Amino acid sequence: MRVVILAGGMGSRLQEQTSVRPKPMVEIGNRPMLWHIMKIYATYGYREFILALGYKAEMVQDYFLNFHRLGRNVSVQLSDGSATFHDEACDDWVVHMVNTGIETQTGGRLRRLRDMIAGEPFMMTYGDGVANIDIRRLVAFHGTHGKLATITAVRPPARFGGLRLQGDAVVEFEEKPQIGEGWINGGFFVLAPEVLDLIPDDQTLWERGPLERLAANGELMAYKHAGFFQPMDTLRDVNYLETLWSSGSPPWKMWK
């Protein structure tokens, strides 16, 4: 099953970083957010990716074209340009990169990939959020209900720390708890190819017409993920994710 990652948006709420790079290329722990997302899938054996590019697509292309050489110990024979790498091989992935247009909306990006993903189920997510989600369980859940689409429902992280009070006394402080009720779209979809028929043009927002129609027709099921989920929408989010990574045990890092 192939994994589609929407990686073409401008990330206007993160202009401190995205004025010079596409949002999925903002780095956490010296690695692009896109790499972290791909590692989540690869941990569970899904290693073929289709990246729907747009804004500053050339930066993503350049990263993966040079991925084999980046960050590795290497000796170069200058007389003929040959190279010998001294450490272990890098991630064994197949990465298809498709420029789906700068102005194309989320649904439109999927539509432009029709020739590559039609005919078989596929997974899809956004290029700006991580979770400690068990992809095998997600796929298994999708296989049990027979509907066209599965969305991963997550608890939204709170922006501020929470206080638990007894009278006027603070008895407990929690930093950035997740709210106790309500679910939001966390990405990490599993989709039948028929969903592509619900996308009429480039300007279709996946989250509007297509998802709304799937829900109205009883074809959208939710896989509830109550564990860690964190989007990267603001500089505050970037700093928080960087802090988690620097701790040595970020919640979404399930690989060795």
Can you tell me whether residue 106 is helix, strand or coil?
Answer: helix
**Residue 166 tokens, joined:** 């007894």
What is the third-level CATH fold of 3-153+185-246?
Spore Coat Polysaccharide Biosynthesis Protein SpsA; Chain A (3.90.550)
Predicted local confidence at residue 181, as pLDDT: 56
> ∠ CA 191-188-100 to the nearest 5 degrees?
70
Q: What does each of the 256 residues of the chain score in pLDDT, given as a tens digit?
A: 999 999 998 877 777 777 788 999 999 999 999 999 999 999 999 999 999 999 999 999 999 998 887 778 889 999 998 988 887 767 899 999 999 999 999 999 999 999 999 889 999 999 999 999 999 999 999 999 999 999 999 988 776 667 677 786 666 776 655 655 578 999 999 999 999 999 999 999 999 999 999 999 999 999 999 999 999 999 999 999 999 999 999 999 999 8
With contact defined as beta carbons under 8 Å apart, do 51 and 34 qualify?
A: yes
C-alpha span between 216 and 145 (Å, rounded): 16
- Nearest C-alpha neighbor of 234 from the set 122, 128, 141, 95: 128
With contact defined as beta carbons under 8 Å apart, do 4 and 97 qualify?
A: no
Outline where DSSP puts E strands in 138-241.
Answer: 149-154, 162-166, 169-174, 184-185, 189-191, 220-225, 229-231
Q: Say how many C-beta atoms besides its own lie within 10 A of residue 44's C-beta.
A: 16
> ∠ CA 25-28-34 to the nearest 5 degrees?
40
User: What's the distance, CA 113 to chain centroid?
Assistant: 17
C-alpha span between 111 and 176 (Å, rounded): 37
Global confidence as pTM: 0.89
Parallel/antiparallel/unpaired status of strands 189-191 and 149-154 = antiparallel
